[in-house]
Amino acid sequence: MPKYIYQYDSWPHFTWDEEAVQVILGKVRFLQGKLFGQMGTLGFSLKEETMLSTLTLDVLKSSEIEGVKLNYEQVRSSIARRLGIEYAGMVYSDRDVEGVVEMMLDATQNYQQPLDDERLFGWHAALFPTGRSGMHKIETACYRTGEMQIVSGPMGREKVHFQSPPPSEVPRQMADFLNWLNQDIKADLALKAAIAHFWFIIIHPFDDGNGRIARAISDMMLARSENSSQRFYSLSSQILAERKVYYQVLQKVQFSKGDITEWLSWFLNCMHRALVASEEVIQKVLYKTEFWDKHKDTMLNARQRLMLNKLLDGFEGKLKSSKWAKITKSSPDTALRDIKDLIEKGILRQEASGGRSTNYELA
């Protein structure tokens, strides 16, 4: 059986191919600068909208990597409330949504604060407000006291993918990790975000939620690297898109003797792709702003504004009059009247697909 990286005497002294890493790090740094430059030219409300969209994506996708699907509207409303952003159609958010949002915002908005045990325990408690993960009762707001294995496969034929360090070693290992994280050493902070992510995942200090907390730590370090609490790209969205490779690389490098070049290269390349993808989010926000600018004098009721915002944010599935009625809590007749009015104003149109039911889209 090969040894895990933490079983070597050199742990946790990581090595990497400096030349290979510097090439991609330079590209990442260039794109970070370019993106913040672009955002600097936008007005306050556009920046606010981009940040709200980005943070919403980050929370949704980081949870989805672990197979947890959160409600988009609840996440967006929770973030908006905490950032003091008002918009039409805000909804009440469940406790589990509030908890994830609380953790992510603490990581990115208070990025300059040191990370210690207490703050980490607060994040963990926020992730599991009921003290349960699904059906299982777990230890919350403390480091795990049991062995931790990552397994898959049917009972009796489980395959062990990873065995984390014994619980007795977790407090000491976390002390070393946090000491390094909070030290003001000369390492590039984007590189530090990549190392921190890997190191934390290997220790696996909690009963559950380690992946989400590792990604929150990465986001915190990236905010430090940009010296800004404003988030305009979502690393978690990109990790979700590449989830299979994410797990493959982690699994491979966990058996290395300390060389983490492959992990650092993958992480920084993933970050590069996240920065490229963020341009799409910005385009969406610009389109939404132009749309409302164009229609600032158009007579619209609250239901129409609510539904148009949903369509502009990327409405999931097909828009039918029945969905309109359900979301706006109106009668089918009212929904149809609202839709016909928007068709007459050239804002909506019937989808060309036809079929038995009529679908609508933005003109």
Do 337 and 306 fall within a single domain? yes
Instruction: Summarize pLDDT for 192-219 with one digit per residue, the tens.
Output: 999 999 999 999 999 999 999 999 999 9
Q: Which residue has the higher pLDDT, 1 or 272?
A: 272
Question: pLDDT value at position 274?
Answer: 96
Do 325 and 277 fall within a single domain? no
Quick one: average pLDDT of 41-67? 90
Q: Kindly tell me if the per-residue pLDDT of 356 is higher than 70.
A: no
**Cβ-contact 165, 7 below 8 angstroms:** no
Q: Which residue has the higher pLDDT, 151 or 177?
A: 177
Q: Please provide the DSSP assignment of 88-156 as one string.
A: TT-----HHHHHHHHHHHHHHHTTTSPP-HHHHHHHHHHH-TTSEETTEE---SS---S--EEEESSTT
Residues 6+ apart with CB under 8 A from 5: 11, 202, 253, 254, 255, 256, 257, 258
Question: pLDDT value at position 355?
Answer: 60
Task: Report the CATH number at residue 185.
Answer: 1.10.3290.10
Question: pLDDT value at position 156?
Answer: 76
Quick one: average pLDDT of 245-264? 96
Q: Which residue has the higher pLDDT, 352 or 174?
A: 174
- Is 295 inside a domain boundary? no
Could you say which of 258, 287, 316 is where a domain stops? 287
Across 29-38, 234-243, 354-363, least confident range: 354-363
Do 280 and 323 fall within a single domain? no
- Is 174 inside a domain boundary? yes
- Is 119 inside a domain boundary? yes
Do 338 and 200 fall within a single domain? no
Across 79-83, 327-331, 351-355, least confident range: 351-355
Question: pLDDT value at position 318?
Answer: 86
Task: Report the CATH number at residue 345.
Answer: 1.10.10.10
Quick one: average pLDDT of 141-158? 83
Do 271 and 312 fall within a single domain? no
Q: Kindly tell me if the per-residue pLDDT of 152 is higher than 70.
A: yes
Matching residue, tokens 């390492």: 187
Do 198 and 79 fall within a single domain? yes
Across 38-47, 190-199, 231-240, least confident range: 38-47
**Cβ-contact 3, 162 below 8 angstroms:** no
- Is 44 inside a domain boundary? yes
Do 348 and 249 fall within a single domain? no
Do 229 and 347 fall within a single domain? no
Number of domains in the chain: 2
- Is 188 inside a domain boundary? yes
Q: Which residue has the higher pLDDT, 149 or 197?
A: 197
Q: Kindly tell me if the per-residue pLDDT of 163 is higher than 90.
A: no
Mean pLDDT for the chain overall: 91
Q: Which domain holds residue 174?
A: 5-287
DSSP 15: B
- What the block records as the tokens of 215 is 């990604």
- What the block records as the tokens of 224 is 């430090």
- Is 101 inside a domain boundary? yes
**Spatial separation of the C-alpha atoms in residues 179 and 194, rounded to whole Å:** 16
Question: pLDDT value at position 351?
Answer: 83
* pLDDT band, very low/low/confident/very high, at 25 (cuts 50, 70, 90): very high
- Is 293 inside a domain boundary? no
Could you say which of 259, 287, 315 is where a domain stops? 287
Do 170 and 29 fall within a single domain? yes
Do 52 and 173 fall within a single domain? yes
Could you say which of 287, 317, 349 is where a domain stops? 287
**Spatial separation of the C-alpha atoms in residues 152 and 183, rounded to whole Å:** 37
- Is 296 inside a domain boundary? no
Across 78-82, 184-188, 258-262, least confident range: 184-188
Instruction: Summarize pLDDT for 271-319 with one digit per residue, the tens.
Output: 999 999 988 778 887 888 889 889 989 999 999 999 998 888 877 788 8
Do 224 and 354 fall within a single domain? no
Do 173 and 93 fall within a single domain? yes
Quick one: average pLDDT of 149-171? 83
In the chain, what percentage of residues exceed pLDDT 70?
Answer: 99
Instruction: Summarize pLDDT for 71-117 with one digit per residue, the tens.
Output: 999 999 999 999 999 877 788 999 989 999 999 999 999 999 999 99
